[in-house]
Amino acid sequence: MRLRSLLTGAVLALTSVAAVPSAATADPAACTATDAEIYAAPPASVPGSPGDLLACRAVKLTNVPGDIPMKAWKVRYVSTDVKGAPNVVTGTVAIPDAAWTRGGSRPTVAFNPGTLGSGPQCAFSRQLAGEYVDMYEGGNLSLFLKAGFAVAATDGVGYLKDRVHTYMVGPNAGHALLDIVRTARRIPGGTLRPDGKVGISGYSEGGAASLWGAQLAASYAPELNVVGAAAGGVPGDLKLTARQLNGSLFAGFLADALVGLSAAYPEMPFEELMNDAGRRAVADVRKNCLYGTLAVFAGARVENYSRDRLTLEQIYALRGPGGATWGEIVDRQKLGVDVGTPASNARYKIGFPVFQYRGWLEEIIPHETEDATRAAYCTAGITTTWKNTYPTEHLSTDWAAAGDVTAFLGDRFEGKPAGGNC
């Protein structure tokens, strides 16, 4: 199980290349793709530019409560991986039928779900459409849609045939989140306009993706009018998080991370380090969703899955053929590093307010890393609203904060100022 645990680190840098969708790409004339076409393995050479729509399929979102009149589609689109190469990602776009009457064009929430597992059936777009049920955020999307916002919800990278989710790989997540907004505006029969405001939202894995989207927006998708980002339960320091997960009831998240990092960085040592238990663990990650993974790996320790019983620290020291160590790759994933305002010389410039939050009874992500990510944003001068007083543990904080997240993004869409509370 070795390495990837640190994993959630994969962000490797290539993340700051600006990419604007090509107007020359031919989008599908109608959303008539089959499920098999949406989730097919990517071609050896991916055509198009970031945000290009490759295929779409009209769907009914049976796992979004409230019977909200809407139009919704599964989408297959072009994005950019951690190494700067084009890749294929899937997701869901939903637009309320009710007219947007609050001025300007309808805004869009770019949404990344919390951890769902790595099996192909676990894709958020499949679960929203009722093909499998192991998710918990349909109600969150319902609040956005009831408020009149469109939703562009990425599955994240890897929910394709014969692939695996690159869990916690920062640039992959941030790129996919921004690109699905571009894609949402290219759907045949869709009504979203290029000037619509954009808010970013996610919790847990989705919270990390949300902040990566916020950090990458100015350089990667400068044409998007991003006005705010909300991120909760954020594992900002992957090494600190891995240390707490190893041997815990929630070690399944570490297993997902190890396999996900390996998928994003196949050149790094991983499979050759495994013993028989490690090889079985990889297979378990690839076939299970959230609750199955947590059950299989409850109490598991990384040391038991490699031939040499490698500890996390020993894994961090391992080098790949390019000279980088796993530890260096994981450190590149740390959120809040080299961030700043648009007037700064920071690598990642954020010119809009951010809402960060965690539950008071958080038991999965170390409080220290969530608090430190908020402090880093405040120190960088980014307008940051922080709330850590929800009387909830990790999962229930997602639901407890949903109303605050919707209100925060709604205020940003209406142009209201955010003072922050740094």
The count of other CB atoms within 10 Å of the CB of residue 415 is 10
Position 245 pLDDT exceeds 60:
yes
The dihedral of CA 215, 218, 223, 226: what is its sign? positive
Give CA–CA dist 74/56, Å, rounded.
5
Locus of tokens 């109608």 = 30
The length of the chain in residues reads 422
Q: Residue 175: which of 264, 289, 255 has the closest Cα?
A: 264
Give CA–CA dist 188/405, Å, rounded.
30
Please give the sequence-ordered ranges of beta strands (E in DSSP) within 257-342, or none if there are none: 339-340
Per cent of the chain over pLDDT 70 is 94
- CB contact at 8 A, 192 and 183: no
Q: What is the mean pLDDT of the chain?
A: 93
Q: What is the dihedral of CA 412, 143, 39, 272, to 10 degrees?
A: 80
Q: What is the pLDDT of residue 274?
A: 95
Radius of gyration (C-alpha) of the chain in whole angstroms: 20
CA dist list (Å): 169 to 177, 236, 329: 12, 12, 10
- pLDDT (tens digit per residue) in 292-343: 999 999 999 999 999 999 999 999 999 999 999 999 999 998 999 999 999 9
Per cent of the chain over pLDDT 90 is 90
Give CA–CA dist 347/349, Å, rounded.
6
- pLDDT category of residue 265 using cuts at 50, 70 and 90: very high
Among 6-20, 51-65, 144-158, 180-194, which is the least confidently predicted range?
6-20
Q: What is the pLDDT of residue 132?
A: 83
- pLDDT category of residue 133 using cuts at 50, 70 and 90: confident
Is 134 exposed, middle or buried (CB count within 10 Å of its CB: 0-12, 13-18, 19+)?
middle
> Which whole number is the average pLDDT over 37-62?
96
Give CA–CA dist 136/28, Å, rounded.
31
- pLDDT category of residue 3 using cuts at 50, 70 and 90: very low
- pLDDT (tens digit per residue) in 179-189: 999 999 999 98
Q: What is the pLDDT of residue 134?
A: 85
Q: What is the pLDDT of residue 130?
A: 93
What residue spans define the domains of the chain?
A: 4-237+333-413
CATH of span 4-237+333-413: 3.40.50.1820
> Which whole number is the average pLDDT over 267-280?
96
- pLDDT (tens digit per residue) in 225-237: 999 999 999 999 9
Q: What is the pLDDT of residue 277?
A: 97
Q: What is the pLDDT of residue 6?
A: 33
